[in-house]
Structure 1
């Protein structure tokens, strides 16, 4: 079995992270989940990858895309992998921004 090409960097019990997880699952995408430090100042791995310390963040090795903020990630996943509609409740709150 091959390694999933998407890695999700997330926080425990983070609603923004869970929204990305739901979309990944809705699109039936394999992904690796990596939990990051709860303290914003200690999220060095995310900072090295995306330039910011916000979570969630993804790295998609298939397309070379690295990004953070759940609204951006959801839009990217739908555009890149969506062959069907994703439940709108997963992205409704993202229209005004995440507040992450």
Structure 2
């Protein structure tokens, strides 16, 4: 993973969980769906910070991977990086 030697991460983990999302309770009703044109109109704008760079949004509804946990995780990483950049600029 990311150029690390085999076993590097596994040797440092205390525990982990493998999740089969299709069996998770309530999993079938937790996605955000807009109109087809919403992605074109708002996909960039929803990623921008609000309230003088004090509020950042993340989640599957912000990403290009709507309804997927990958989208939620990806947008969370991007938002966290933007928060870190904003702090570093102060």
Q: What is the TM-score when the length of structure 1 is the normalising length?
A: 0.22
Higher strand proportion (structure 1 or 2) = 1
Q: What is the TM-score when the length of structure 2 is the normalising length?
A: 0.24
* Higher relative contact order, structure no. (Cα contacts within 8 Å, ≥ 6 residues apart): 1
